[in-house]
Amino acid sequence: MSRPAHESAWHESTAASRIVPLCVAALLLAAVSVVIGFRAAGADGPTLVPQALAFLPWLLVPGAAGLGLAALARWRGGMVWAAVALALTVWFVRPYGPGTTGAHGPVVARLDVLTSNVEFGNATDALIRAVRSEGPDVVFVQECDLACADAFAARVPAASYPYRDVVRLDGSHGSAIFSRFPLRPAGRIDGTMAMPGAVAVVAGRDVRLQLAHPMPPVPGGVPLWRRELGRIRDLAAAVRDRPAVVAGDFNASQDHAAFRAVLDAGGLHDSARLAGSSRTYSWPADRATPLRAQIDHVLVSEEFSVHSARFLHLAATDHRALLVGLELHDGP
């Protein structure tokens, strides 16, 4: 027996109304699944995947939308797919790595470390004010152009930071390490932008200091970004089991496999994670956008414990500076 014409038309209309939300849900969930798949595989993938991984927590939005649309379309398979994608996203949003360094023994020194990307030197004045007010013991500066280097030489007394490793280059290529502790050269990591390194003598112990500033994973530049982070990873592996601080603008977050490899290779810990701020953003800081990530880090070895981490807003740069309070222990 055939259905009445009006009933057939209603069923056709209902089926058609389900097709659109089903298709949109499938597209959203496919996009989320690609990114989550690379995260689960421990790989950063080609262009667009690293950029998406930087904002991984925001995958919850299209994942939730996909779940709602699948429910609207009465697509049970899609609802299961969305639930799995959301569960995996929540799992990967958790802080990466242990919550403590495992440092023990008496504290032999306390030191504050500040890292700041001053964006082509534009935030030099703001950084100098922060250095004067906060008084960090070691300062890592990225994108310290010639004017920035000259400003520190003229306005930051040598008595405050008598030990300096300054790479005088213009634009984003210059970098510098300023220290209250004696420094001796330790070579540089080869990179498009300067990444100086030094050994500081802290309470009679050698502490390897390394500035990190690899190229960002812009479209077309992902292989270079991966190579330069790989060189930082190699340095971290080389100084494993020695006191070390690796700090700077890594152009990578905990959701990037290349950054996690740096942590794992050197047995390093992210100070912000240890201070309970693993998802506090550092970039971009100069515009209103919900899409933000923590790409500025201070990484420390097992000999250090972390008692504080603060992100400081500086005018005229798209990065927030990071100030961490560290304690150096007699044993790991």
Q: What is the pLDDT of residues 239-297, one digit of tens each?
A: 999 999 999 999 999 999 999 999 999 999 999 999 999 999 999 999 999 999 999 99
Beta strands in 25-134 (DSSP E): 104-117
Give the residue from 93, 127, 156 where a domain finishes: 93
What pLDDT is attached to residue 238?
96
Give the residue from 68, 93, 118 where a domain finishes: 93
**Number of independent structural domains in the chain:** 2
241 lies in the same domain as 126: yes
Domain assignment present for residue 99? The answer is no
Domain that holds residue 198: 104-331
Place of tokens 């800081």: 285
Angle at 248 between CA 256 and CA 94, to 5 degrees: 35
Domain assignment present for residue 324? The answer is yes
Domain assignment present for residue 302? The answer is yes
Residue 294 and residue 281: Cα distance in Å, rounded? 4
State percent of the chain over pLDDT 70.
Answer: 95
Domain assignment present for residue 225? The answer is yes
What is the tens place of the pLDDT at every residue in 157-172? 999 999 999 999 999 9
- Is pTM, for the whole model, over 0.85? yes
Structure tokens at 43: 């790989």
108 lies in the same domain as 89: no
21 lies in the same domain as 122: no
Average pLDDT over residues 106-120: 98
25 lies in the same domain as 155: no
57 lies in the same domain as 191: no
Pairing of strands 321-331, 296-300: unpaired
Average pLDDT over residues 300-323: 98
150 lies in the same domain as 236: yes
Question: Would you give the distance in Å from CA 289 to the centre of its chain?
Answer: 17
Provide the β-strand partners of residue 298: 247
32 lies in the same domain as 167: no
Going by C-alpha positions, the residue among 277, 221, 291, 230 that lies closest to residue 257 is 230
182 lies in the same domain as 303: yes
Q: What are the DSSP calls for 150-205, one per residue?
A: HHHHHHS-TTTS-EEEEE--STTS-EEEEESS-EEEEEEE--SS-EEEEEEEETTE
Domain assignment present for residue 141? The answer is yes
**Mean pLDDT in the chain?**
95
What pLDDT is attached to residue 82?
98
Give the residue from 93, 122, 150 where a domain finishes: 93
What pLDDT is attached to residue 5?
52
Please name the residues in contact with 266: beta carbons below 8 A apart, sequence gap of 6 or more: 233, 235, 236, 237, 239, 240, 244, 246, 299, 301
CATH number at residue 214: 3.60.10.10
Residue 10: pLDDT band (50, 70, 90) is very low
Domain assignment present for residue 58? The answer is yes
What pLDDT is attached to residue 331?
73
What is the tens place of the pLDDT at every residue in 12-67? 555 667 899 999 999 999 999 999 999 999 999 999 999 999 999 999 999 999 99
247 lies in the same domain as 274: yes
Kindly report whether the peptide bond that precedes residue 284 is cis, defined as omega within 30 degrees of 0. Answer: yes
88 lies in the same domain as 157: no
